[in-house]
Amino acid sequence: MSSDVQRKMGHGALWMVLFKLTERSLGLISTLILVRLLSPADFGITAMAGSFIFMAEMLTALGFDVALIQKQDATDEHYHTAWTCNVLTGFSITVLMLAAATWIAGFYNQPELFWVVCALALGPLISGCENIGVVAFRKDMRFRREFAFQLSRKVIGFVVVVPLAYYLRNYWALVAGILASKLAGTITSYLAHPFRPRLSLIKVRGLLGFSKWLLINNFVCFLKERSSDFVIGRVLGAAPLGVYSISYEIAFMPTSELSAPINRALLPGFARIAHESDAMRAAYTSALGILALIAVPVATGIYTIAPYLVPTVLGPKWLAAVPLIEILAFNGGLLLFHSSICTVIIANGHPDRVTKTNGLYVLMMLILFALLIPSYGLTGGAYGVLVASILSTPIYLSQVRRSVGVAPSVFLGAAARPVVAALAMALLVRWMLPEWTPARDLAVSIGWMIGGIMLGVFAYTAAIMLLWLAAGRPAGAERVVFERLRQRFVKRGATPASTS
């Protein structure tokens, strides 16, 4: 049972990473176009409006999808109840945001925010009507169907936002893209799954028993990810907030593009083997090694090429993002481990521990924001996030040991070789790359950036293999990757002989 689940978890993680890479490719193309057509203030206006709506969603997000996945014996009535609650919640948020639009515009002292909030307020109602049946894709570990469903909404959002950006040249293109993506998700959810929900609240008490902690945790996670929007937007204004938002998005690619989809795939697998403690620890240790092997060099690589990445890809008007990306990239690497810890603890049935630990993180971060942002601006905000992550990491490690029995030494073992190899890569690439100057030709800058990326990939691969061989080729992520590659090459080499 547990070996089959682990195999499906591995396949699911690959599908979810493939989705995120595809989604990010669309998002990257979209961002490259939008940052040259729109101003930092346009991104800041959208972030200001979205911050309050997202907060309202987190305040009312009961996490019924996670509850349905964790509850292995869920019936159709549980699904009907979850859908009904989602619809009622979405409607309530829409009405609340419409009523609060004037106050939100006044809070940021941005009159144009009123209509932006009114438009984006429709998003929660649209998303609330999404077919709850698609949760079964993850619960039954049918990740190929999940991949197709999730990708469809992103493609439609991309198709809408880019032409509108050319035509409008303002933040309304971003607003239209957000709403189009949500509407596409709701429509395709009914095309993707035959389940047809109906109004019902019969099982609400049973679902709330697990979801009440997820509700609190979602709000805490919102503060963890988005409290900077309120503080920076209020203290520094729309344009600095736009710079910070883009910096945050780029720097957190390891977390959002790798750990998030992998955790999405691992959660249902962990939930199935939660009663098998040895299998749970083995599966988590294996997943942790793969995450570290990939995400640590990605985070370090973003830091390393940031001086070329920003002016070359985003344009000279975004140069203020360089130091922010350099700081936040390392924070993204730490949050990778935090998110994996939260996933395994929730799957093991302890969402309250995740909520309390995230709450301590938020408290530290808000204190640091109050101390650093007024004096050091955007850089102070970035350092506040990083220091909060560093200080809270021992707390997360103690919680996963308490809940699952995974010792901190497991994390150190998983991260040790990737960290050393990534540091060697960063030193080599930074030494080889000349300093970027505004006078440098764009084509030459692109060439240096691509060369730096290729050198980084080669240097990290060589360093990680040398470290693994020097350690005596121990069991771990490197061996898993090596064996997969060896089997693939052996299989390809054996194909002609078998057919002759």
- Counting beta carbons within 10 angstroms of the beta carbon of residue 65, is it exposed (0 to 12), middle (13 to 18) or buried (19 or more)? buried
Q: How far apart are CA 440 and CA 8, in angstroms?
A: 49
The answer to the question of residue 364 being in a domain is no
- Between helix 40-60 and helix 172-192 the angle, nearest 10°, is 40
Read off the tokens for 267.
Answer: 């959660």
In 179-293 the beta strands, taken as DSSP E runs, fall at none
The answer to the question of residue 60 being in a domain is yes
**Per-residue pLDDT at 9:** 47
For residue 252, give the nearest of 420, 382, 390, 149 by alpha carbon: 382
The per-residue pLDDT for range 305-330, each reduced to its tens digit, is: 988 888 887 888 888 899 999 999 88
**Interior/surface letters 312-335, b for 16+ CB within 10 angstroms, e for the rest:** bbbeeebebbbbbbbbbbbbbbbb
**Per-residue pLDDT at 422:** 94
**Per-residue pLDDT at 181:** 80
**How many domains does one find in the chain?**
1
Q: How far apart are CA 35 and CA 55, in angstroms?
A: 25
**Per-residue pLDDT at 270:** 59
The answer to the question of residue 377 being in a domain is no
The pTM score is: 0.65
Q: How far apart are CA 322 and CA 317, in angstroms?
A: 11
The answer to the question of residue 297 being in a domain is no
Which parts of the chain register pLDDT below 70?
A: 1-28, 30-32, 58-64, 66-67, 69-74, 137-150, 152, 206-215, 253-277, 280, 484-500
Question: How far is residue 136 from each of residues 147, 189, 243, measured CA to CA in Å?
Answer: 13, 12, 38
**Per-residue pLDDT at 5:** 46
The answer to the question of residue 246 being in a domain is no
**Per-residue pLDDT at 10:** 47
Neighbours of 62 (CB within 10 A): 20
**Per-residue pLDDT at 12:** 46
The per-residue pLDDT for range 163-207, each reduced to its tens digit, is: 777 777 778 888 887 888 888 888 888 888 888 988 888 777 766
**Could you tell me the residue range of the domain that residue 17 belongs to?**
1-239
- The type of residue at 185 is G
The answer to the question of residue 215 being in a domain is yes
| Dihedral sign of CA atoms 161, 162, 163, 167 in order | positive
The answer to the question of residue 262 being in a domain is no
Instruction: Give me the long-range contacts of 382-389 (CB less than 8 A, separation at least 24).
Output: 382/244, 382/247, 382/323, 382/324, 382/327, 382/328, 382/331, 383/327, 385/228, 385/327, 385/328, 385/331, 386/327, 386/328, 386/330, 386/331, 386/334, 388/361, 388/364, 389/331, 389/334, 389/335, 389/338, 389/361
Q: How far apart are CA 105 and CA 79, in angstroms?
A: 37
The answer to the question of residue 187 being in a domain is yes
